[in-house]
Amino acid sequence: MEVADLTLDELRLVLAPAIADAAIFDGWSDAALEAAANQVGADHDVARLAFKDDGALGMITAWIDTIDLAMEAELPATRLAQMKIRERIRNLVQFRLDAVAGREEALRRALAIMAMPQNAAKSLKTGWNSADIMWRLAGDTATDYNHYTKRAILASLYGATLAVFVDDESEDKAETRAFLDRRIEGVMKFEKVKAKWLNPEREHFSMSRFLGRLRYPAR
- Confidence check: pLDDT of 208 > 90: no
- Confidence check: pLDDT of 206 > 60: no
pTM: 0.86
Greater pLDDT, 219 or 79: 79
Q: Can you tell me the mean pLDDT for 194-213? A: 55
Residue 160 in any domain: the answer is yes
Residue 137 in any domain: the answer is yes
Q: 12 CB contacts (<8 Å, ≥6 apart)?
A: 50, 51, 58, 62, 65
DSSP 76: -
> What are 128-143's pLDDT values in tens digits?
999 999 999 999 988 8
Residue 64 in any domain: the answer is no
Residue 11 in any domain: the answer is no
Domain that holds residue 160: 85-219
Residue 183 in any domain: the answer is yes
Which of 20, 22, 142, 161 has the alpha carbon at shortest distance from 95?
161
Residue 51 in any domain: the answer is no
> What are 33-56's pLDDT values in tens digits?
999 999 999 999 999 999 999 999
Residue 93 in any domain: the answer is yes
164, with CB counted inside 10 A (0-12, 13-18, 19+), is middle
pLDDT at 103 (0 to 100):
97
Residue 62 in any domain: the answer is no
Domain count, the chain: 1
